[in-house]
Amino acid sequence: MSRPFSAFRANARDHRAGLLVAALSAAFGVALVGGVNVLGAYIGGSAMGEHGSVQLAITVVAGIFFVVAVYVGAIVTTNTFATVIAGRTRTIALLRLIGSSARAQRRSVAGEGFAVGLLGSVLGGAAAAVLALVAVRALVLTGVLPDALYPVLSWTMIPPAAIVVLTTWLASWVGSRRVLAVTPIQALGAAQERPAAAVRSRGRLAVSVMLIVAGGGLLTLGLLLGLGVLAGLGATLATLSPYGVLVAMLGGILSFTGIVLAAPFFLPGVLRAVGLLVGRGAAGRLAAANAVRNPERSSRTGIGLVIGVTLITMFVVAASSWQQLIHEAAAQEPGMYEGADGVIGGTLAVFTVLVGFSAVIAACGVVNTLSLSVLQRARELGLLRALGFSAAQVRRMILTESAQLTVASVLTGLVLGTLYGWIGAQSLLGTIPGGGLLAPALPWPFLASIVVAAAALAVLAALAPTRRATRVSPVEALAVE
């Protein structure tokens, strides 16, 4: 047990973002458990408490929120460890040169992941338990929740934290797989990305297409089940209608995983096209070319922002569509949904806090990946300086890359998030009395704020490390390991 923690301490600086993601993921799960307990007690005391389906829906939604948060945290952690390994290529190669095996190095990195997950879960879970108590009290004092006894703390808060430890360890194991390909001869080089041929393999493409097709099919099935369209085809399908959202959730995870795996095939081209539009001159042309020249790096940084925008857009569109569905149903069946507005307000207030956790998790991944990618390009930036590029031109190139990253990733994330959010809302509540098929509810002010926040995040994440990198003289930069 001491070996993982000793390796973690030796490389603690590399794991700050991973530690924060693990802590936030655990806090998210613990907060969800507390939130479900509070909402269950609140809805049970309202007029809608007679409808068990509403409480079941809240529990299902909370479970989906946690699964999504753990999934996002796992992807962020995988990307983080892959980026860290790219920067440690020379160190790992030197250890290989003196006799260490690739598997031993991978076990060491995975051990660091276990330490990150355990420490982050303990810190995040404890903080969330305390904050849950404070938040509920604040909601009661402000009148959002009625004064009552709410069972916030329970033993069910332990499993979410344990799941985060497991997924963080697994994510670090997956993210460190490239350690197996590091050879002793690479000790003579520096931080390296794999060539395009190694990233864009036929096997990867086949798996990506299979996941996207299977996920798309499940999304469609979940939507049809949630709308009750298939109920007339048999008693079995009729009994599965309440579980349409679970089918859709599985479809969303599979399809999005396929999109993440397929990113090196389509995202560099999109980034290059956007870069040619937003950048002019030598710096702009070079920024556009970098997206294709390093497909692994460009897709890894781009997909991080896609995850964040997709996640937030999905929650915003799902909440707005869910609210619209309830209002439409209440208009059709006014007696059945008495007091619906109060329940909607309280539910959205709690879920807004939970969405904030997910947003921060995704943002941490974007900032860390972008920052590490820029810092690990010290030799590349030094070579450009030695060839005649000024510090201002280098900064302009990096900012142009951030601009093309923002445009391409935000557009992709908005489309995916809107689709996933709408299907999620329809598959969950499409069959409630008075409900039905509705167009996606698009809260434009929120979507506009997502675009602005994503742009600011991408630029700021690259600005500080770029400034540090360009302060180093070309000779010193070329000597960086």
User: What is the pLDDT, as a whole number, of residue 405?
Assistant: 77
Residues 186 and 209 in one domain: no
Range(s) of the domain holding residue 13 = 1-192
Q: End of a domain among 174, 192, 210?
A: 192
Distance in angstroms (rounded) separating the CA atoms of residues 400 and 22: 31
Segment 452-473 mean pLDDT: 73
Residue 290 and residue 186 share a domain: no
What is the percent of the chain with per-residue pLDDT over 70, rounded to a whole number?
Answer: 67
Are both 183 and 239 inside the same structural domain?
Answer: no
Domain edge (last residue) among 149, 176, 192:
192
pLDDT score, position 191: 46
Give me the half-sphere count of Cα atoms (radius 13 Å) on the Cβ side of residue 40: 14
State the sign of the Cα–Cα–Cα–Cα dihedral 99, 101, 106, 108: negative
Of 150, 166, 192, the residue that ends a domain is: 192
User: Residue 1 pLDDT > 60, yes or no?
Assistant: no
Q: Could you read off the pLDDT of 326-377 as tens digits, one per residue?
A: 777 777 776 666 666 666 666 666 666 666 666 676 677 667 666 666 666 7
Q: Say if CB 33 and CB 58 are below 8 A apart.
A: no
Considering the chain, what percentage of its residues have pLDDT values greater than 90?
Answer: 5
Query: Given a cut of 50, is residue 73 above it in pLDDT?
Result: yes
**Mean pLDDT over all residues of the chain?**
74
pLDDT tens digits along 99-108 = 777 788 788 8
- Considering the domain architecture, whether residues 183 and 238 belong to the same structural domain is answered as no
Q: How many other C-beta atoms can be found within 10 angstroms of the C-beta atom of residue 123?
A: 18
Q: Is the pLDDT of residue 215 over 50?
A: yes
Does residue 456 surpass a pLDDT of 50? yes
Helix 158-175 to helix 16-44 angle (10° resolution) is: 150
Question: Which of the residue ranges 90-99, 156-165, 175-184 would you say has the lowest mean pLDDT?
Answer: 175-184
Please, what sign has the CA dihedral across residues 299, 12, 165, 130? negative
Q: Which two tokens stand for residue 470?
A: 């360009």
- On whether both 50 and 69 belong to a single domain, the answer is yes
84 shares its domain with 218: no
Phi then psi for residue 4, to 5 deg, are: -60, -40
pLDDT of residue 413: 87
pLDDT at residue 380 in the model: 74
**374 and 426, same domain (yes or no):** yes
pLDDT at 255: 93
Average pLDDT, stretch 169-185? 74
What is the rounded CA–CA span in Å between residue 271 and residue 299? 9
Return the structure tokens found at 439.
């167009």
pLDDT digit string (tens) for 261-313?
A: 888 888 777 777 776 676 566 666 776 676 666 777 777 777 777 887 888 88
> Is it the case that residue 71 has pLDDT exceeding 70?
yes
- Cα 392 to Cα 86, 141, 466, distances in angstroms: 26, 53, 10
Q: Is residue 205 pLDDT above 50, yes or no?
A: yes
- Once rounded to an integer, what is the mean pLDDT over residues 396-411? 79
pTM above 0.75, yes or no: no
**Residue range 380-399: mean pLDDT, rounded:** 78
Same domain, 472 and 336: yes
Q: Which residue's structure tokens are 């000779």?
A: 475
Question: In terms of domains, do 43 and 132 share one?
Answer: yes
Asked whether residue 283 falls in the same domain as residue 232, the answer is yes
Give SS3 for 440.
coil
Based on the fold, state whether residues 310 and 341 are members of the same structural domain.
Answer: yes
Looking at the fold, whether 431 and 452 belong to one and the same domain comes out as yes
Q: How many domains does the chain have?
A: 2
Whether the pLDDT of residue 131 is over 90: the answer is no
CB 309 within 8 A of CB 409: yes
For residues 61-67, give the mean pLDDT. Answer: 70
Q: What is the pLDDT of residue 230?
A: 66
